[in-house]
């Protein structure tokens, strides 16, 4: 059985959607005119019917993998959306801001902490 996986990028996703659209259109043509299958070999017809059956009702392992992948993607999207909302509000927004703005005492020449400019060692006395 093939593993369920997500397309790696947007370009691959678009290619997959195009192939899916082509396949759906082909199946709709067969539904409209089943005589199309009369010219196909028995082996090709069996493969087509088996593939359609597996898409319609896959075996339990494949179905569970698909369900888990869909649930995982939905959970990831929900978490991403929730985290985005939480980042904009409340304590998270406040935590990104500086807590206290302290004055730089060493730049103040009038400070008593010794941060001012001294011109000579005799000024210490």
Tokens of 75: 């959970």
Average pLDDT over residues 49-76: 90
Q: How far is CA 121 from the centre of its chain?
A: 65
- Per domain, the residue ranges of the chain are 9-57, 68-99
What is the per-residue pLDDT for 81? 92
Task: Please give the model's pTM, rounded to 2 decimal places.
Answer: 0.46
Report the range of poorest mean pLDDT among 12-16, 26-30, 108-112: 108-112
What is the per-residue pLDDT for 117? 52
């Amino acid at each position: 059985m093939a593993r369920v996986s997500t397309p790696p990028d947007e370009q691959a996703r678009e290619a997959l959607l195009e192939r899916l659209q082509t396949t759906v259109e082909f199946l709709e043509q067969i539904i409209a005119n089943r005589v199309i299958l009369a010219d196909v070999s028995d082996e090709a017809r069996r493969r087509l019917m088996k593939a359609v059956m597996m898409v319609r009702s896959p075996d339990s392992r494949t179905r569970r993998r698909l369900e888990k992948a869909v649930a995982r993607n939905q959970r990831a999207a929900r978490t991403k959306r929730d985290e985005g909302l939480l980042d904009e509000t409340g304590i998270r927004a406040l935590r990104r801001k500086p807590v206290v703005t302290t004055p730089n005492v060493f730049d103040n020449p009038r400070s008593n902490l010794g941060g001012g400019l001294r011109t000579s060692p005799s000024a210490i006395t």
